[in-house]
Amino acid sequence: MTYETIREWCQKFGQEYANQVERKRPHITDKWHLDEMVVTIKKQQYYLWRAVDSEGNVLDVSLSLQQDTEAAKRFFRKLLKKQGFVPRVIVTDKLKSYEAAKKQVVPSVEHRQHKGLSVVLQINVG
């Protein structure tokens, strides 16, 4: 097999393949629900940070040893980089780390804080 053969295949099938991949990718909404929970792995406690959109699509998951502003900022930055866009709204519980991190990383985003508004995450967890 030559490079030319591979190039010809890419020209012939590449766009069709890309279109199929695009159709299967879920549409991510601009309203993100963020939550954290304690998990124990090998007798060590960690914080599991999760983000889903308003349709329940999992956007990202991350583990940290801390539940502080720095951990929340790391999670925000990782999430934004992975998604490639800034949401219109984030919904969180009343953990103060979220508000402090949001002010530094995404100050223009609307932030709704309410325990009951994180229902999407709780349902998604099971």
The CATH number that applies at residue 35 is 3.30.420.10
What is the spatial distance between Cα 86 and Cα 53, in angstroms, rounded to a whole number? 12
In a domain, 26, yes or no: no
For residue range 40-96, list pLDDT tens digits in order. Answer: 999 999 999 999 999 999 999 999 999 999 999 999 999 999 999 999 999 999 999
Measured distance CA(14)–CA(23) in Å, rounded? 14
Asked if residue 67 belongs to a domain, the reply is yes
Residue 25 pLDDT: 64
In a domain, 3, yes or no: no
Mean pLDDT of the chain: 86
**Domain membership flag for residue 93:** yes
Q: What does pTM read for this prediction?
A: 0.73
| Under 8 Å between Cβ of 52 and 32 | yes
Q: How many domains does the chain have?
A: 1
d(CA 58, CA 51): 6
* In a domain? residue 45: yes
Is 54 a member of any domain? yes
35 vs 53: CA distance, rounded Å: 12
Note the pLDDT of residue 45: 94
The residue with greater pLDDT, 110 or 19, is 110
Domain-located, residue 81: yes
Domain of residue 116, residue span: 31-125
Asked if the model's pLDDT at residue 20 lies above 80, the reply is: no
